[in-house]
Amino acid sequence: MGSDPRSSGTSSNQYGLLKFIIHLTVLGGIFFLLIFFVIKTTMNQQNKKTINPTISPSVSSPDKLLKVHLTVFNTENELLDNVKVQFILDDAPPKSTFTNSSGYARMEITNRKDIDILLIKEGFKTIKETIDLERKQNRERQFVLERKPYLDNLSSVEGSRTFSPCLPSDELSEVKLIVLNEENEPIKGVRVQFIFDGAPVSELTDSKGYVRMEIPIIEYVNVLLTKNGFKTSLETINLKAKINETINVVLQCDCNT
């Protein structure tokens, strides 16, 4: 008996269908693996974005805040309260705080290598100090203020008015400055702050490096000069010896900035 051609055709069709199903299954598996790979890669990238900022704590952010701690004493090693501590910032207005009854003050500032501070208290000499913030960041610094000479705290009679070298009077004295660089060129935009026993006043130099300010009549005035790219300078001017004079002040370049 011969084979049934219909049976042979049916077997061939079944074999073809089986091959199609196998190919479809393989393609489906490959497609599934591709989708799985894409999803996993995307998730890994998102995880890296989330984890990376915390993986390397050794890299400091420029926006990180540093805490500066300090204590102020007098020359008798007594704690001084109500000392004005002014932090001089190149990229922002100065920030100030006052010491408490334990002579302690604290300030948070943006991350930087160092910072200049002023310590101001009535009856004491104003001083400027530079704090290195890269070494022992959380260490408490200690500073000592010297009293002004005894005669500086006494009022003397000059003509028909009372003149006090330390305490401002109601009259005004004109102070004129020209700020120059080391090449004897005028510097524009220097912030000149006049510091005395009262609220400090400040002004910016013009294109000729010139600034003029009227302040209460005193014998000495501390002048703080700040400008980005130059070293901060604290000058003490004898106003009695420099009456009606225009005073030249030279700022040194801060080559590390």
pLDDT tens for 161-184 read 333 344 444 577 788 999 999 999
Cα within 13 Å of Cα(128), Cβ side: 15
Structure tokens of 148? Answer: 């002004």
Q: Specify whether the CB–CB gap between 173 and 152 falls below 8 A.
A: no
CA distances to 84, 149, 196, 213, 244 from 80, rounded to whole Å, are: 10, 18, 18, 31, 37
Cα–Cα dist 165/239, whole Å: 10
- The model scores a pTM over 0.85: no
The sign of the torsion formed by the CA atoms of 180, 182, 185, 189 equals negative
Report whether pLDDT(29) > 90. no
Q: Specify whether the CB–CB gap between 117 and 107 falls below 8 A.
A: no
67 burial type by CB count under 10 A (0-12 exposed, 13-18 middle, 19+ buried) = exposed
Cα–Cα dist 246/173, whole Å: 13
Q: What is the mean pLDDT of the chain?
A: 76
Q: What is the DSSP string of 2-40?
A: PPPHHHHHHHHHHHHHHHHHHHHHHHHHHHHHHHHHHHH
pLDDT (0 to 100) of residue 3? 53
pLDDT tens figures, 66-109:
888 999 999 999 999 999 898 887 666 778 899 999 999 998 88
Residue 154 pLDDT level (bands cut at 50, 70, 90): very low
Cα–Cα dist 10/183, whole Å: 104
CA distances to 183, 190, 194, 224 from 246, rounded to whole Å, are: 19, 16, 15, 16
